[in-house]
Structure 1
Amino acid sequence: MIELAGLTKRYGLKTAVRELTCVIRPGLVTGFLGPNGAGKSTTMRMILGLDHPTAGEARVEGKPYARLTDPLTVVGALLEARAVHPGRTAYHHLLCLAQSNGVPRRRVGEVLDLVGLGPVARKRPRGFSLGMGQRLGIASALLGDPRILIFDEPVNGLDPEGIHWVRNLIRSLAADGRTVFVSSHLMSEMALTADHLIVIGQGQLLADTSMADFIEENARSTTRVRSPDQEALRDALADAGLTAEPARGPGAEGAWELAGDQTEPVGRLAADRGLVLHELCLHRASLEEAFMRLTSQAVEYQARGRAPEG
């Protein structure tokens, strides 16, 4: 378990993290979201004792990180995958970490095989691709078989197969009862991975809730319905007290849109009125839509104007 209590970090006049209080519990994948500059990396660094808080504290298994004995067996972290000695092989990079933390030598080979780097274990990481470097960083985090995992952008540079592997790995770690805390800007991937979300903006807590509740509270699901007799459908919906508007977006021409999940009442209404339907579907709001709506006022670096086309 990770506990943050009034965690605050100031750099001169700038407050990077402001009175952040939350609990990251075991058995769940907790996603950590926020716009660029929101304070996510600073928060993770304070959890790991790399930055000292101005106020408040971060506790890992009930203690500040600095008071942990054999910390690699308690917390495994991936913050910067390229933070390796350029002259050491992948094997010796991990061996050095293992020997300094009382981790058995055999564990080095185990994690290298687990992340798929066994064949290049004796090569120096300076020649690794971005994805291979990421895999080595994940191996470092897993080396001590820790109860707590902290990952910052774990799928950065990975191909689709690698992304799928990391997703399954993270979920299996949580299913094993471990505490898993993951920061990522890839909303589609986070939606497939996280059970719970902690969202911050400008250093402040914006949300601490389940994935399902976050989307439901911060975005709008709609029902789209289409019939060859568009006007008869509109009149039938109005007679039933269902408010419909012309649907918008790609492929929406000739369709009506209703707020929320109205698929069952609309389906029954069409059957009762003998209306032919060519489309009846629920458009569920995405994590990206919910995130954009919640954080729209907390974006520090916001582009103005339209992006170039093509």
Structure 2
Amino acid sequence: MIELRGLTKRYGEKLAVDGLSFTVRPGIVTGFLGPNGAGKSTTMRMILGLDAPTRGDVRIDGKHYAQLQEPLNHIGALLEAKGVHGGRTARNHLLCLAQSNGIPERRVGEVLEMVGLTAVARKRPKGFSLGMGQRLGIAAALLGDPDILMFDEPVNGLDPEGIHWIRTLMQHLAREGRTVFVSSHLMSEMALTAEHLVVIGQGKLLADTSMSRFIEENSRTYVRIRTPEPERMRDMLIAEGLRPSPGEDGAMEVEGDDAARIGELCAAERLVLHELSPQRASLEEAFMRLTAETVEYHAHTGPEAVAAEPASPAPAWGADWNRGKDGKG
């Protein structure tokens, strides 16, 4: 378990981490999200004792990192995959780590096999690709068979097979009862991997909740409908207390997720449907919505992206779309 209480880090005038308090619990994969500059890497460095907090406290199973005897047996971490001695072979790099933490030599071969680097164990990492460097960093994190694992951008440079492998590995480790804490900017992958989310922005905690609740609370859910009889459909929905609005491609949208009820109403009224589909936001959409005001570094595709956007055109179905036949709302 990792526990943060009021964790704060200031670099001169820059407040990088601002009073973070949360707990990373065993048995689930916890995702750590935030825009660039949000303070994720600084937080992870303080967990490992690489940076000292300005205020607050962080503990690993009740102890500060510096108090851990043979720390690789307690927590394994991947923060910087290229942080290895380029002159040592991959095997010797891991062997030095093992010897410094009382880990048996046989474990080196086991983790090399686990991450798929046995064939290059005698090669120097300075010649490794980004993906191979990531695998070596993951091997180092696994070396002590720790109960806590922490990964910063673990899928960087990995091919699809490697991404699937690390996702499966993290979920397997969590099912064994370990604490797994992972930071990534690849939202589609995080959505498949994590069960719980901690989200920060400008150093402050924005969310500490389950994946499903995070998406539900930070996104729009609606039912998309396409029919060759839009006027009859609109009138029927309004009569049932629903408020349809125009969508893309001539479809209409109804807030909420009660597609089954709408389908039953259409069947009762013998209304033809070409599409009836619940629409739920992705993790990326929910994340963008929550963190929109905390993004520190904005990019633009060109000069036209900086200019104010033109006003949206009026709905194709007119201003009376949500009104009844008498023109009243």
Q: What is the TM-score with the length of structure 2 in the denominator?
A: 0.91
Q: Equivalent residues in 2 for 1:68-79 (5 A)? A: 68-79=68-79
Q: Distance in 2 between matches of 1:226 and 1:238?
A: 16
The aligned residue for residue 16 of structure 2 is: 16
Q: Given the alignment of the two structures, is residue 302 of structure 1 paired with residue 298 of structure 2, yes or no?
A: yes
Q: Given the alignment of the two structures, is residue 66 of structure 1 paired with residue 62 of structure 2, yes or no?
A: no
The aligned residue for residue 198 of structure 1 is: 198
The Cα of 1:197 is off from its aligned counterpart by 0.5
The Cα of 1:302 is off from its aligned counterpart by 1.5
Which SS does the other structure have where 2:294 is aligned? coil
Ranges in structure 2 where 5+ consecutive residues have no aligned partner: 306-329
Query: CA separation of 1:100/1:207 partners in 2, compared to 1, >3 Å: closer, same or farther?
Result: same
The aligned residue for residue 186 of structure 2 is: 186
Q: Distance in 1 between matches of 2:301 and 2:139?
A: 42
Q: Distance in 2 between matches of 1:290 and 1:87?
A: 44
The aligned residue for residue 151 of structure 1 is: 151
The aligned residue for residue 47 of structure 1 is: 47
Which residue, 233, 253, 256 being the options, matches 1:257?
253
The aligned residue for residue 273 of structure 2 is: 277
Q: How many residues align?
A: 305
Which SS does the other structure have where 2:56 is aligned? strand
Could you report, residue by residue, the CA deviation over 1:39-64 in whole angstroms, capped at 9, with x for unpaired residues? Answer: 00000000000000000011001000
The aligned residue for residue 38 of structure 2 is: 38
Could you report, residue by residue, the CA deviation over 1:66-94 in whole angstroms, capped at 9, with x for unpaired residues? Answer: 00001000000000000111111100000
State the percentage of identical aligned residues.
69
Q: Distance in 1 between matches of 2:283 and 2:302?
A: 23
Compare CA radii of gyration and give the structure with the larger one.
Answer: 2
The aligned residue for residue 268 of structure 1 is: 264
- Across the aligned residues of Structure 1 and Structure 2, the Cα RMSD in angstroms comes to 1.2
The aligned residue for residue 234 of structure 2 is: 234
Name the amino acid aligned to 1:286. S
The aligned residue for residue 86 of structure 1 is: 86
The Cα of 1:254 is off from its aligned counterpart by 1.9
Could you report, residue by residue, the CA deviation over 1:105-131 in whole angstroms, capped at 9, with x for unpaired residues? Answer: 000000000000011111111111110
Name the amino acid aligned to 1:238. I
Could you report, residue by residue, the CA deviation over 1:255-288 in whole angstroms, capped at 9, with x for unpaired residues? Answer: 1111120201110110000011110001111111
The aligned residue for residue 7 of structure 1 is: 7
Hey, which bits of structure 1, 4+ residues long, moved more than 6 A? none
Which SS does the other structure have where 2:131 is aligned? helix
The Cα of 1:303 is off from its aligned counterpart by 2.5
Ranges in structure 1 where 5+ consecutive residues have no aligned partner: none
Name the amino acid aligned to 2:38. A
Q: Distance in 2 between matches of 1:210 and 1:176?
A: 19
Name the amino acid aligned to 2:40. K
Name the amino acid aligned to 1:279. E
Query: CA separation of 1:141/1:308 partners in 2, compared to 1, >3 Å: closer, same or farther?
Result: farther
Q: Distance in 1 between matches of 2:241 and 2:46?
A: 54
